Amino acid sequence: MKLAAAQVGGFLKNPGPCRVVLLYGDDVGMIRERAEALVRAVAGSLDDPFLVAEVSRDDINTLPDEAASLPLTGGRRVVRVRDATDAATAHVQTILKGKAPALVVLEGAGLATRSRLRTALDDAPDGAAIGCYPEEGRALETTIRTTLTEAGVRADPDAVSWLTAQLGADRASTRSELEKLALYVGAGGRVDLDAAMACVGDLAGLSLDDAMYAATTGDVATADRALELAMAEGAASVQVLRVGLAHVQKLHRARLAMEEQGLTAADAVKTVRPPVFYRRTSAFARSLMLWPLPALNAALAGLAEAERGCKRTGWPDDALCRNTVLAMARRAAVTARSGRG
């Protein structure tokens, strides 16, 4: 089934007979928040050992059996897959063809546009695929006001306007900054512009996507800071690398269009599907100029090898992930300085 934006909130509180939900998109924090909302709505908590099960990517073959298992204590089980890829498609189709009672929640940040998993769930009457993308404009303003109100504080209009310009890249980061701001002014307090500017840090507007765009445009410092924030907010190394793979794959397709069709970088950006977020089109075009196809192929190979390394016992996952992304940033910085693309 396909849900309209206005239906998502109600669905997260009560998914009803839906049996498989895929959460995908660029906002990793929103994916995690919505997954947790679904788990709580069905199982009552995130860590009930009888009602909540997690399946790793390496154990994806067990997904149908987990979905078919009956809880020992009554109620409905939730099976959560935090790092879903197209490799889960056949297992999801098996579940949808059967009568497995559990709710399966798939978190698929960085899934390709034509993902088989997304297509399968869009077409399923008891499945749902929900896009999770950074909020902006009125939607972000509403989130800011609602979060602060729930925390028991008021906000001046100019403070909300300033916060709207600073936040929104990642839902988890946005909520974290707003919770910190509410603590800063205290229960019953008022957030004015001075308080907002004093409290909300310069990392607040950074997301995992920012890390990748910074890396491919050669902004080493921003890439490092954005990675630091993403990992502090709970992003796993493999997840970071997969977002990186998805970003470089988009660049690869666009650069191929440039070379095969004789397009400019600006025109090649327009060929990307789903479309590049309008605020990022110039950064994407700059990246295209800095990354010829051989360099993109090498970056893809490096990211894939780093992901494999993260799964090997004893490897320092965070360091391996960070070094791989920052190596891309340094490569782009050198190219930018030399004027070569």
Q: What is the CATH number of the domain that holds 180?
A: 1.10.8
pLDDT confidence band for 331 (50 / 70 / 90): very high
Q: Domain check: are 215 and 333 in the same one?
A: yes
Looking at residue 3, its pLDDT comes to: 86
Q: Does one domain contain both 187 and 242?
A: no
Q: Are residues 161 and 223 in the same domain?
A: no
Looking at the fold, whether 221 and 122 belong to one and the same domain comes out as: no
Least reliable range by pLDDT among 128-137, 263-272, 279-288: 128-137
Do 36 and 76 fall into the same domain? yes
For residue 17, whether the previous peptide bond is cis, meaning omega lies within 30 degrees of 0, is no
Length of the chain: 341
Among residues 199, 225, 249, which one ends one of the domains?
199
User: What's the confidence (pLDDT) of residue 173?
Assistant: 76
Domain boundary among 131, 148, 179: 131
Same domain assignment for residues 271 and 332: yes
Q: Hey, what are 290's tokens?
A: 């800095």
Residues 89 and 144 in one domain: no
Q: What pLDDT, on the 0 to 100 scale, is given for residue 307?
A: 85
Where do the H-state alpha helices sit in the chain? 5-13, 28-43, 63-68, 89-97, 116-122, 137-150, 157-166, 171-185, 193-199, 208-217, 220-232, 237-261, 265-269, 281-290, 293-310, 317-338
Residue with tokens 């970056």: 299
Residues 161 and 120 in one domain: no
More confidently predicted of 174 and 191: 191
The total of other beta-carbon atoms located within 10 Å of residue 194's CB is 10
| 27 and 67 fall within a common domain | yes
Q: 282 or 232: which carries more pLDDT confidence?
A: 282
Q: How far is CA 253 from CA 113, 216, 268, 270, 307, in A?
A: 12, 15, 9, 11, 21
Residue range 217-230, pLDDT digits in tens: 999 999 998 888 88
- Count how many domains the chain has: 3
* Mean pLDDT for all residues in the chain: 89
Decide if pLDDT at 327 tops 90: yes
- Whole-Å CA distances, 79 to 46, 76, 108, 305: 11, 10, 14, 29
d(CA 178, CA 171): 11
What percentage of the chain has pLDDT greater than the value 70? 96
Q: Which residues constitute the domain of residue 96?
A: 5-131
The pTM for the full model equals 0.63
Which alpha helices (DSSP H) does 153-192 contain, by range?
157-166, 171-185
pLDDT score recorded for residue 42: 96
Distance CA 339, CA 242 (A): 29
Q: Give the single-character DSSP code of 44.
A: S
pLDDT score recorded for residue 184: 92
For position 121, what pLDDT does the model report?
93
